[in-house]
Amino acid sequence: MPTSPPHRRLGRALAFGLVLTTAAVATNAPVSAGPPHQQPGRAADRPATPNLGPNVTIFDPSMPVSQIQATLDAAHAAQVDNEMGTTRHAYLFRPGHYGTAEQPLQIKVGYYTEISGLGASPTDVVINGKVEAYNRCLTEGGTANCIALVNFWRTLSNLSLRVNAVGQDDCRATANFWAVSQAVSMRRLDISGGGLSLMDYCTNGPQYASGGFIADSRLPATTNGSQQQWLTRNSEVEGWSNAVWNQVFAGVVGAPDDAGFPDPPYTTLDTTPLSREKPYLFVDARGKYQVRVPAVRRDTRGITWGTGMTPGRTIPIGDFFVAKPSDPVQVINRELARGRHLLLTPGVYDVARSIEVRRPDTVVLGIGHATLTAVNGAVPLNVAGMPGVVVAGVTVDAGLKESPVLLRVGQRHGRNHSTRHNPITLSDVYFRVGGPHIGRTDTALEVNSDHVLIDHTWVWRGDHGVEGFTEGVNGDTDRWRTNTGRYGVIVNGDHVTATGLFVEHFQRYNTVWNGEHGTTILYQNELPYDPPTQADWHNGTVNGWAGYKVGDRVRHHTLHGGGVYVFNQNNPSIRTENGFEVPVRPGVRLHHIMTVNLSAGTIDHVVNGVGEAAGMDRVGAPVYLKQYP
Per-residue model confidence as pLDDT tens digits over 368-405: 999 999 999 999 999 999 999 999 999 999 999 999 99
- Report the pLDDT value the prediction gives residue 477, as an integer from 0 to 100: 62
CB atoms within 10 A of CB 501: 29
Question: What DSSP string runs through 335-391?
Answer: HHHTT-EEEE-SSEEEESS-EEE-STT-EEEEEEEEEEEE-TT--SEEE-S-TT-EE
Pinpoint the alpha helices (H) of 391-499: 476-482
Whether residue 18 has pLDDT greater than 60 = no
Output phi, psi for 78, to 5 deg: -75, -30
Judged by average pLDDT, the poorest of 66-75, 238-247, 278-287, 471-480 is 471-480
- Report the pLDDT value the prediction gives residue 149, as an integer from 0 to 100: 96
Predicted confidence (pLDDT) per residue in 204-253, tens digit: 999 999 989 999 999 999 999 999 999 999 999 999 999 999 999 999 99
Whether residue 502 has pLDDT greater than 50 = yes
356 is catalytic: no
**pLDDT band at residue 468, thresholds of 50, 70 and 90?**
low
Tallying the residues shown for the chain, one arrives at 629
**Given 132, 277, 504, 526, the catalytic residue:** 526
Residues 6+ apart with CB under 8 A from 169: 202
Q: Distance between CA atoms of 552 and 513, rounded to whole angstroms?
A: 9
Residue 47 or residue 111, greater confidence: 111
Q: Is 88 helix (H, G, I), strand (E, B) or coil?
A: coil
Residue pair 505/527 in contact by the 8 Å Cβ criterion? yes
Q: Is 403 helix (H, G, I), strand (E, B) or coil?
A: strand
Whether residue 473 has pLDDT greater than 80 = no
DSSP summary character for residue 180: -
